[in-house]
Chain A
Amino acid sequence: MFVLPTFGLGVIGSPTVPPETFDTATLENGGNGAGNDNTLTFTVNPSASISAGSTLTIAGLTGSQTSDSGSLTIGGAGAAIFGSSADWTQSSGTLVLTVAGGQSVPTGSDTVITFTLTNPATTSSGVTGITLASSGFTTANISGTFLNAVALFNVTTRDTEANILSSTPTNPSGEVNIAFGEDTNDFYIYDGSAWYIYKDFNNYSINFDGTDDYIDCGVITGLQGASNGAISVWIKPDTAGQAPNIGYRPSASHQFVLTFVGGTLYFGVRNGSTANIYTTTAIPNDTNWHHYVATFTSGTTKIYIDGSQVAGTQSGSNPSTISSTSGSFMIGRNGNDNKYTDGLLDEAALFNIALSASDVTDIYNGGVPNDISSLNPLGWWRMGDNDSRTDTTITDQGSGSNNGALTNGPTFSTTVP
């Protein structure tokens, strides 16, 4: 049988129902005569091509005398796409169409099918023939499992003697279908009976121009006064050798922040007069993606780059807790100071727990962002993933509910680590 593909960033999920909309979907009732055979015409034009294995359920066909059948005959030009039959259920008034192997429902043109149901034997009160939903037939009458794809490959699995290994009624040739999401890097595989999705975890980042743009995450109460803390962020700098600016810094004497200045990265943990500034110059001298973590754990300060702790110098002594002075946590800027980031940032996270070296290794995940929810981040700003991207809000997917506000024009990017 086939071997499931291994994606470094893949999360194996269950069969899914990708969203779908329709430019048009109509159903014409062929006739109202009591007891007559009634030929109905269904027309659909989806907003994106719907691929093999998808199902379309037409609902609202109540009142028919036609008994349940697993093979109601369908006709019309669209029958080549859906096959010659569909599943009819009288009690629910639904007809389920399945896109045949090697076929797809196109977008940009109407696909038409016809099918025949029998009207009620008797009619009354002016209600005759097949009864659609009270509001009439709309796209809301269509549901199902839709698969959008920009490419569809048929992969036949055979044994070493070239015999086809699998055979199912819906996939008699033994093909395994593979498809890619229309507007994502999601990957789908059809094993002959069901579609499975392999979701691409990370598709978006945020591009900062380094002049004045940043994300304002507001005051994070869970950080203030904490005895442990950590910042994690991915950066792809526009200029080689630059590091991220991110953190909380309402003033010079109250901060929990990463500041990059002149080739040096400063991790400032200051609570009034007690201050520790940890510095490192071990900045990768390229414009590739790199992962930075700064940890403040029980009086010890460390910086990790790409999963490994880097050498640095500590000046001063660590305060017992992070400052409680009110101030916004900012991404792309070192708090309220004027150091900004020129480049892409992604998967920023804030913790108020002790992160171990092993935790950092897990977050780095060999260079590919991964689901870090098991580490209970206080803040987790995914820069557009699992988010609407329709406004200036970056949803906090950590526990703190501190949504970020895109400020001064940073933009979404599909370049990701």
Chain B
Amino acid sequence: MRNYCIINSDEVSSVNFDQVAETSADTLRYSIDGTQTFVKYEGTQPSFLSGKQEYTHSEILAILATDEWTSDDII
């Protein structure tokens, strides 16, 4: 099962991209204000995310649908 963790943008340097599904720091999706991003992984939470809240797929989709993450620009 896939889990998701939101992290602060200044924590990206601590991400081990061998332990998450994201390809690299360059491909991360950031919040509209650029202060947050997130990573996803299968199963156990990687140690570098220790203490971070885990979200399920449906929970992260709900978060990403908010104005904080999705721009108002339609097209």
User: Interface of A with B (CB < 8 Å)?
Assistant: 209-213, 252, 255, 257, 259, 261, 264, 266, 268, 277, 334, 337-339, 342, 392, 405, 407-409
Q: B69 touching A252 by the CB < 8 A rule?
A: no
Choice from A212, A255, A266, A392 contacting B29 with Cβ under 8 Å: A212
Choice from B23, B69, B73, B75 contacting A257 with Cβ under 8 Å: B75
Q: How far is the CA of A257 from the CA of B75 in the complex (A)?
A: 9
Residue of A at shortest CB range from B4? A211
Q: B29 touching A268 by the CB < 8 A rule?
A: no
Q: B75 touching A211 by the CB < 8 A rule?
A: no
Task: Say how far A112's CB is from chain B's closest CB, in angstroms.
Answer: 44
**Chain B interface, number of residues (Cβ within 8 angstroms):** 20
How many interface contacts (CB-CB < 8 Å) are there between A and B? 57
Q: How far is the CA of A209 from the CA of B22 in the complex (A)?
A: 12
Task: Say how far B3's CB is from chain A's closest CB, in angstroms.
Answer: 12
Given A211-B40, A338-B29: A255 in contact with B21 (beta carbons within 8 A): no
Q: B71 touching A337 by the CB < 8 A rule?
A: yes
Given A252-B73, A261-B75, A337-B73: A211 in contact with B27 (beta carbons within 8 A): no
User: Interface of B with A (CB < 8 Å)?
Assistant: 2, 4, 21-23, 27-29, 38, 40, 57, 60-61, 64, 69-71, 73-75
Main secondary structure of the interface of B (DSSP, over half): loop
Q: A338 touching B69 by the CB < 8 A rule?
A: yes
Choice from A209, A252, A261, A407 contacting B57 with Cβ under 8 Å: A209
Q: Which residues of A contact B38 (CB under 8 A)?
A: 211-212
Residue of A at shortest CB range from B2? A209
Q: Which residues of B contact A338 (CB under 8 A)?
A: 29, 69-71
Task: Say how far A131's CB is from chain B's closest CB, in angstroms.
Answer: 51
Q: Which residues of B contact A259 (CB under 8 A)?
A: 74-75
Task: Say how far B25's CB is from chain A's closest CB, in angstroms.
Answer: 12
Q: Which residues of B contact A337 (CB under 8 A)?
A: 71, 73, 75
Q: Which residues of A contact B70 (CB under 8 A)?
A: 338-339
Nearest 3 pairs of A and B residues by beta carbon: A409-B21, A212-B29, A266-B75
Q: Which residues of B contact A266 (CB under 8 A)?
A: 74-75
Q: How far is the CA of A213 from the CA of B39 in the complex (A)?
A: 11
Q: How far is the CA of A142 from the CA of B2 in the complex (A)?
A: 44
Q: A409 touching B40 by the CB < 8 A rule?
A: yes
Task: Say how far A317's CB is from chain B's closest CB, in angstroms.
Answer: 16
27 contacts between A and B (CB under 8 A): A209-B57, A210-B61, A211-B4, A211-B38, A211-B57, A211-B61, A211-B64, A212-B22, A212-B27, A212-B29, A212-B40, A255-B75, A257-B75, A259-B74, A259-B75, A266-B75, A277-B75, A334-B75, A337-B75, A338-B29, A338-B69, A407-B23, A408-B22, A408-B28, A408-B29, A409-B22, A409-B23
Q: How far is the CA of A191 from the CA of B75 in the complex (A)?
A: 57
Given A211-B40, A211-B64: A408 in contact with B27 (beta carbons within 8 A): yes
Task: Say how far A267's CB is from chain B's closest CB, in angstroms.
Answer: 9
Q: B73 touching A209 by the CB < 8 A rule?
A: no
Task: Say how far A257's CB is from chain B's closest CB, in angstroms.
Answer: 7
Residue of B at shortest CB range from A408? B22
Q: Which residues of B contact A257 (CB under 8 A)?
A: 75
Q: Which residues of A contact B61 (CB under 8 A)?
A: 210-211, 342
Q: B74 touching A211 by the CB < 8 A rule?
A: no
Task: Say how far B9's CB is from chain A's closest CB, in angstroms.
Answer: 14
Task: Say how far B19's CB is from chain A's closest CB, in angstroms.
Answer: 12
Q: How far is the CA of A264 from the CA of B27 in the complex (A)?
A: 27
Task: Say how far A361's CB is from chain B's closest CB, in angstroms.
Answer: 28
Q: Which residues of B contact A213 (CB under 8 A)?
A: 21
Residue of A at shortest CB range from B26? A407
Q: Which residues of A contact B29 (CB under 8 A)?
A: 211-212, 338, 408
Q: How far is the CA of A407 from the CA of B27 in the complex (A)?
A: 7
